A and B are shown apart, each in its own frame.
Chain A
Amino acid sequence: MNALLATTLALAGLGFGGLAFTRSSVVHAATLVMAALLLLAGAMLALSAGLAAALMILVHAGAIVAVLLFIALTTPAASGRNSRPLALVRAALLLSPLAALMVLGVAALPAGLPQAAPPVAAVGQLLFGPWAVGVELASLLLLVALIGARQLLRRDPEDRR
């Protein structure tokens, strides 16, 4: 039952995500992507992954896409009109072999049984125990991205005058 609910919510999210790239306005597209992310969070909640669902709502939909919305609303050049010619044909040609390979890979997986929700402490023990190096690498990546963003937006001394 929970797996069925999760699949339905994820499918609805996929529909919203697909709709986003038919829009010409980036604000409309970002709103649809936000709805897709919230539905995905619902799907994760149905799979008893409450922590992942909360993170998706707070960080992905609540922070990243919200900042993108602010940027789209406050910069003048955010126009979504420029779409490439013959986009559907080019995308289908590029993606169909890849899609076929991925579907074959998924079909070859063994089926499993759903599990009960683990305590959040188990996630923490995993992150700061065996996965500590990976978590440190992710934090290093964030630091480098922060420095890179600051460097990209640095103003030249003559611009300040």
Chain B
Amino acid sequence: MNTPSLTPPALPWGHISSKRGAAPHACDDVAWVRCGRTPRGAHVRLAVCDGATESTYAARWANCLARTLADTEEPLPAGFAAAVSRAREEMARELDALKSDAVQSKRPLTWYQESALDRDAHATALAADLVVSDDGATLSVVAVGDTNLFVVEGNTLVTAFPLTHTAHFGTSPLLVASGRSDTASHQHVVSQLRLPPDATMILATDAVAVWLLDQHEKGRPAWDEAVRLARASREEFQSWARAKQERTELRDDDLTLIALRVSHMGQMTSGSRPLSTTQPVRERPGVEGAHTPHDLATDEVAADRAPEMAAGDRAPQALTLLAAMVIALLFLSVGLVRIAPSVWAGNEPLRPVPARATPLEEAAYVHGYEQSAGQESAPCGLSPIADPTDVAEAWRDGCRDARSEP
């Protein structure tokens, strides 16, 4: 076995920012994340939703949908339908509570708030399951609409999903509706990828996604820039966005940019396969790079996936080691734990990682810092949107400690 080198951790960095002139909380973009372990390896579930501008309760629905997508235990893509169904029930409960509150507080809803209750709210949805094991890193993604995922290696695009060209973006993306009359969620698309050893996932809602693809199409790839911006301070990100918007290079929209570096040691254990290819599941005939709407009721992809995933189960010891490393790095990255050599060797039980989903905006800062470091209930590593510098320093400190230990 090779000596594992210390690599950057798998943790999401990013920003969610509202439109110009809007209050910071008036944002229809939402991201939730859940981390944990599965029998197949360390697991991260990310869900990003973009509420449709024309829905009054879009932000509420986007939050409900993203939270439920992140929280649903069943793996993707099969878990998508159940999550949407649960999100709808949750949304109905929330709106009922809203009406009750209005009655009880004797502050009736306005005519337009009441009218909007009779209409569905809509949002895009993108949910990704990342599983890292000794067999490499695999990604299962489900998408409805134009919230996009990019897998990059350095400054090179490996794959874009679900939309692959700027021309695919329009003003009427598919959306998941909060009501049962919805048909768009039945047209979700699915992709499964095996990630290269040093891949970065970038998740972006439409405005940022179309800018990134535009740069790529013009031969000026900005993937490095995206990762840098995801890790930059909120002020720097917003300053960048405002400058681009002033020059009309970036749409004035809610903005989400999340980057997740997925370093895994594909050659660390004997028998592991090089992980250098990505395999989008299907392509839509006649539309280059777009993916086929996938019917929930006949999810062939889930069935296709099983043998591949089983590879991780064949090497439980190596799996444990890899999972330990990834999760330890996750903790290290937010300064929650200092990694000891025994953890690297996998000889000690891992700290439990809560399976509860966490809103990306607040998770690291609120739960990572304001709760004391090292708490058993500490969540997985998340980028603190408020101040990534602290995290970077904590990570560097942790690296130094880990290196200096015998």
- Asked whether A and B interact, the reply is no
A residues sitting closer than 8 Å to B (CB atoms) are none
